[in-house]
Amino acid sequence: MSKPNYFQVSITHYSQPQSVRITQKYGWQGYGIYFVIMQLLASAPNRRFKLTDLPQIAYLIRVTYNEKFIEMINFMFTVVNDEFYSEDVENGVLAFEKRIKNLNPSAAGKASAAKLTPEQLSERGKHAASAKENTPTPPKEKDRQIDE
């Protein structure tokens, strides 16, 4: 299955109850921090971070790691034991994964190919063979090393 590279968010996400609570308490800057961390969570293993990752996250998003930042995380996200996550991210990524799982690329490809004329199929085959021939070979190990 394909790994998602995004999570589904409503265009009115800023007006959802959780977002409104965040902007009321921390302003739009707080909402920006929330949204960036949601993006990081979407690409994290199991869509969760350990609380011990907070100093690195703060550094990555260019905010000060202090008590206020820790308070924001506890306010914005669901904290369980030593990890935190976002239900918005969970729901968005799960919706994407469900759509991907329901796709049948093989059947879709066969249906598309069935609509093509023999000439079109032949032309596609030529392009595929040409692309394969023109694929560069990877560099040898000695070429990849950095000069000292």
Residue in this structure with the two tokens 């034991």, named with its chain if needed: 81
Mean pLDDT of 34-42: 91
Q: Any bridge partners for residue 80, and if so which?
A: 83
Has residue 119 got a pLDDT over 60? yes
What are the boundaries of each domain within the chain? 13-99
Please report the pLDDT score of residue 97 as a whole number: 67
Mean pLDDT of 105-115: 65
Report how far residue 101's alpha carbon sits from residue 95's, in angstroms, rounded to the nearest whole number. Answer: 10
Mean pLDDT of 36-56: 91
Q: pLDDT digits over 3-26, tens only?
A: 555 666 777 778 888 889 999 999
CA-wise closest residue to 51 among 7, 81, 21, 31: 81
Report how far residue 39's alpha carbon sits from residue 61's, in angstroms, rounded to the nearest whole number. Answer: 11
Please report the pLDDT score of residue 147 as a whole number: 43
